[in-house]
Chain A
Amino acid sequence: MAYGTNPEERYSYGEVSDADRRDFLKALGVIAGGSIAGATLRDLRAEVSSGAAEGLAEMGEAVRGGLTGTLDPALLNEQLAGLEASFELLPELESMGVPEQGASAYQELTTAAWVINDHLAEVGFFASAEENLPAFEPDHIEATTRQLLHMDTLPATLSEIGFSEQEQTALVTNIVNTREQLSWWLATPDYPPADAVEDGVVHEYVAPLHQRAAEGSLLWIDGLDHFLWQREPLITGEMIDRGLWDIKSMLGGYYLMSSAVRDLANGEIADEELSTLITAGSAIEIIGQEFLLTDTVRITDEKRAPKGVIDQ
């Protein structure tokens, strides 16, 4: 790869190699010697300091203050329960293989998330997040990751929605190890640089960064019933398996982001945790969709199923 952090070689599919953990720790200023930390979040947490939370707290407070509508706790509670149920469907998709014509199994994963999404857009959440949070700049990724590792509730939250300890670690290390590709997702005013924009024309059509992360994930998942069925002669089991990890990641990122908003609606979250989970959740959504493309959608001759063979 010609550019930077070489994300394709550092992205973890539910299991984090020693090399990936070493890269992760190195990016956070921890020089690992001969031995490397264990593969759980708790192990990594022991190696990485939490850093200062003041900046993140100010951002979280600003996001909260920037909402233009009122969050609906009941709606968020109900739909998050629906989203939790989506994770339970993932093993069925693995055994299903290539969907039948007209199937909607993948679309059903996002039903609850779309309801949440519409509500978040309605109350100005995405606009406020973009207004008050930096894009995926190195300092912000580092601060967010440090804070994320030190959130006591994170392992339990991810465990509840079906992430094993290894998978939890993969979610977090992927944020840092794919940071250059994340940096390509600019905040809306940066398309192009803000001083070149006249009359806010860019804002008229480029959605806020965190909305692009969230809705992009849902659109990708929704389209897979059609895509996998349509490309059946090219599809392999590995494409489906890897794609399911990317989907699980995207839904995991969506869950972290929207559960933080639910906790905000219920008055149960600290400001630094709010900004941390919005950033981390969005980053996971983005990197999941970027790798879904690599793993499942963009099919080279080397990856495709052999001609005449349908491999499920």
Chain B
Amino acid sequence: MTYESHLADLPEDAPWDEKPGESVIEQHDTDAIPEVDVTEEDIAASGEDETNWLIFGNNYQGHRHTTADVITPENVGDLEVEYVLELGEPPNDFQGSPIVVGGDPPIIYQTIGPDMLYAIHGRTGDILWTHFYENADGASDETPPAERGPAVLGDTVYKSTLDLGVLAIDRYTGEEQWYYNGAAAYRGEVAEDVRHEELQWERSRGTTSSHPPMIYDGMLMKGSFGGEFGVSGFYDAIDLEGNPQWRVNMTPEHEWVGDSWQHGGGTAWAASCIEPDTGTVVIPSANPGPWYGTVRPGWNPYTCGKVGVDTETGEYQWHHQDAPHDWWDYDSPSPPLVFEEEVDGETRKFATWPGKTGWVYTVDMETGQLHQRSEEFVQHYNMWSLPPFDDIENAQWIMPDLRGGTNPQTSSFDPQSRTLIVKGLNQPMRLSWFETEYEPGETYIGMDIEHAPVPATQEQEEEEEEEEDETADDGEEAEEEKEETADDGEEAEEEKEETTDDGEEAEEEKEETADEEADNGDGSEEEWRDAWNGYVGVLAGIDPISGEVKWRNWYEETPPWGGSLTTPTGVTFAGDGDDLFTAFETETGQPLASWDLGTAASGAPVSWYDPGEGKQYVAAPAGGERENYTESGNRFVVFSLSE
């Protein structure tokens, strides 16, 4: 295998600094932002500094672990709501992670789709400035793209944009410093009119999203999107003045038949992480295009996996494909993590991530060789069965679903107990392919998709229908029932809490039955309904070295989106699609306390300690308007606990 086509040409005459969209800036009390010099050393040490959360994963390794230790399993129930912000409007959702720059006061930088960036007073929740960028391609009102968060360094906050660019913005004022035009050239070809024509379509959730920039050793790195639009993915590095340095072609030409690489997908739309000692960035990669494989024989690297790349040169280090030659959209957007562990007397570094395929992969960071594939954390049923041609009625039901396993939900890691916290979906689907043609700016999928109905939702709908009938019969008005929300800081009803694997006997029996039967079958309705445990999602604690699934908490109605975080005191925070933000015991998964956010917890939580207030804070971005969400909304909920 050769990767001579791994790096793309970067034509010097491309309009790399031309900005196609418009910025709208609003400034409020910008003087409240303290001057704090954020260095790369600070970013590298963020995971050990309880006052900061300076990078997507709170360290280059992506652990989403804070060293703030005010909150413990014993007192977590005393957490109080400090403030709640309404950012953006539904159906925008977060998906990403805020950044927190410690100081007096701490400042939070938060994005929400499409291309909206906020600077927020960490103590009061006051909006200090906003920078909204209107990208030149527009964004769907109904399903706007997700945002995955900014990056900071020095006096600048950086965000990727929905026209494949990067905006450098003054951290204190919200004013633009420069723009990098990532669509100025494509496959080595200079754009005729600012942006390459094949990279233009209305931005929409599911096909486009911002990528959280990664800054390391004077380089800013970011990915691309559009795998459902027949693009070839790329991953860029620019210097801190916005000049292109290298671009990885995520579909290296010599490894594909003919010109199929040109529309082969492999975009990189989720957060990366870095092994800082060697300067290797680990890039998540998305699905190949089109979804059916007969036009693109071969392994289709680097689709559906992770790629290790040298941050200085962009040179290839290793790659791992979770689903080589994919047909099911089993791409690998989950942000990877890097950790160190002694194995057989040798201290080694590993990269780990959960796949849409429903397993956690742990590879040697130096070579990319698989150390372990975990036990399944979601069910597998008729795994790897090929979709038939144009016959979805007779297609087999299979698990995992094309949304996972784990999709972009970012995992967290507790180094003390060596526990990876993973979210996943658990729902049957069936697919059937049909031929499709490539046209710039049009979807390029060629697959019919059907998801299995959710039993709990079906039962609920049937009950509601019955209630409606009864109400109509006797003429009484239905009583409005509304859950208490985080506004008033009260905990949600215990009834909505999750079921833990080692909890009630009945649940254990249900799960065991499903695990035993969920292997392969004929895919008939009776059989897949028996095989499916009926839960649509899971939160799991997994040992990435042994592959052991330590615990699983199942969700009945709505799969959990968003990320999680861990504390050194053994607490894990994770939200779910039923509006609950929950603290768990990291080692066992036992729920400790829950709060109703009033909308689904779609973002990744962060935590920091504010010495000026003597409090540990936890921020939980929640919102959006997905098909399974109970309530739409856009809430940025900040909790605190005094020492």
Residue positions of A touching B, CB distance < 8 A: 1-4, 101, 107, 181, 183-186, 190-193, 196-197, 201-202, 204-208, 211-213, 215-217, 219-220, 222-223, 225-227, 229-234, 289, 293-294, 297-298, 300-302, 304, 307
Contact = CB atoms under 8 A, between A and B. Distances in A.
Closest 3 A/B residue pairs (Cβ): A216-B297, A207-B258, A219-B298
A216 B295 contact: no
A219 B396 CA distance: 29
A196 B376 contact: no
Contact of A219 (B257, B369, B375): B257
B394 A220 contact: no
B436 A192 contact: yes
B391 interface: yes
Given A191-B436, A201-B439, A233 B294 contact: no
Interface string B317-346: 000100111000000000000000000000
Main secondary structure of the interface of B (DSSP, over half): loop
Interface stretch (B67-75, B259-267, B586-594): B259-267
B258 A211 contact: yes
Nearest to A106: B1
Interface in B389-430: 389, 391, 394-396
A109 B522 CA distance: 38
A149 to B, nearest CB: 27
Nearest to B230: A205
A144 to B, nearest CB: 19
Interface string B220-261: 000000000000000000000000000000000001111110
A283 to B, nearest CB: 13
Contacts of B615: none
A186 B435 contact: yes
A219 B255 contact: yes
A164 B1 CA distance: 31
B436 to A, nearest CB: 6
Contacts of A217: 297
Given A205-B263, A233-B371, A2 B295 contact: no
Given A3-B388, A234-B373, A219 B299 contact: yes
Contacts of B258: 205-208, 211-212, 215
Residue in A191, A205, A207 with the greatest tally of chain B CB atoms within 10 Å: A205
Contacts of B259: 204-207
A307 B439 CA distance: 46
Nearest to A181: B386
6 contacts: A191-B437, A201-B438, A230-B320, A233-B371, A293-B325, A300-B384
Contacts of B363: 230
Contact of B260 (A107, A186, A190, A205): A205
Name the interface size band of chain B: 35 or more
B389 A211 contact: no
A186 to B, nearest CB: 7
Contacts of B384: 294, 298, 300
A204 B376 CA distance: 41
A208 B352 CA distance: 39
Contacts of A197: 437
A57 to B, nearest CB: 28
B438 A212 contact: no
Contacts of B380: 300-301
Nearest to B434: A192
A2 B392 CA distance: 10
Contacts of A307: 372, 375, 546-547
A285 to B, nearest CB: 9
Contacts of B439: 201
A58 B329 CA distance: 42
Contact of A223 (B257, B298, B376): B298
Given A206-B295, A212-B297, A227-B324, A191 B369 contact: no
Contact of B299 (A183, A201, A211, A220): A220
Contacts of A185: 294
Contacts of A298: 323, 383-384
A220 B298 contact: yes
B260 A206 contact: yes
A233 B372 CA distance: 7
Nearest to B363: A230
A83 to B, nearest CB: 19
B519 interface: yes
Contacts of B297: 212-213, 215-217, 219-220, 289
Contact of B435 (A183, A191, A234): A191
Interface of B: 1, 255-260, 262-263, 292, 294-295, 297-299, 320, 323-325, 363, 367-373, 375-376, 380, 383-386, 388-389, 391, 394-396, 435-439, 519-520, 522-523, 546-547
B370 A230 contact: yes
Residue in A2, A191, A219 with the greatest tally of chain B CB atoms within 10 Å: A2
Contacts of A3: 388-389, 391, 394-395
A2 B320 contact: no
B533 to A, nearest CB: 16
A191 B438 CA distance: 9
A207 B257 contact: yes
A207 B376 CA distance: 37
A184 B389 contact: yes
B369 A232 contact: yes
Residue in A1, A107, A219, A222 with the greatest tally of chain B CB atoms within 10 Å: A219
Given A211-B258, A230-B320, A304 B373 contact: yes
Nearest to B436: A192
B1 A216 contact: no
Nearest to B519: A302
Nearest to B433: A184
Contacts of B371: 233
A230 B388 contact: no
A289 B300 CA distance: 13
A245 B264 CA distance: 29
Given A205-B262, A230-B363, 14 more contacts: A1-B396, A184-B389, A186-B294, A193-B435, A201-B438, A207-B260, A212-B257, A216-B298, A219-B298, A297-B324, A297-B325, A301-B376, A304-B373, A307-B372
A302 B297 CA distance: 26
A201 B256 CA distance: 18
A206 B380 CA distance: 33
Contacts of B367: 101
A114 B64 CA distance: 47
Nearest to B258: A207
Nearest to B359: A301
Contacts of B298: 215-216, 219-220, 223
Contact of A212 (B295, B394, B523): B295
Contacts of A226: 1
Contacts of A213: 297
B371 to A, nearest CB: 7
Nearest to B372: A233
A201 B396 CA distance: 33
A230 B320 CA distance: 8
A119 B591 CA distance: 65
Contacts of A231: 370
A230 B394 contact: no
A186 B292 CA distance: 12
Residue in A197, A216, A297 with the greatest tally of chain B CB atoms within 10 Å: A216
Contacts of B370: 230-234
Contacts of B260: 205-207
A266 B169 CA distance: 69
Contacts of B257: 207, 211-212, 215-216, 219
A144 B58 CA distance: 62
Contacts of A196: 437
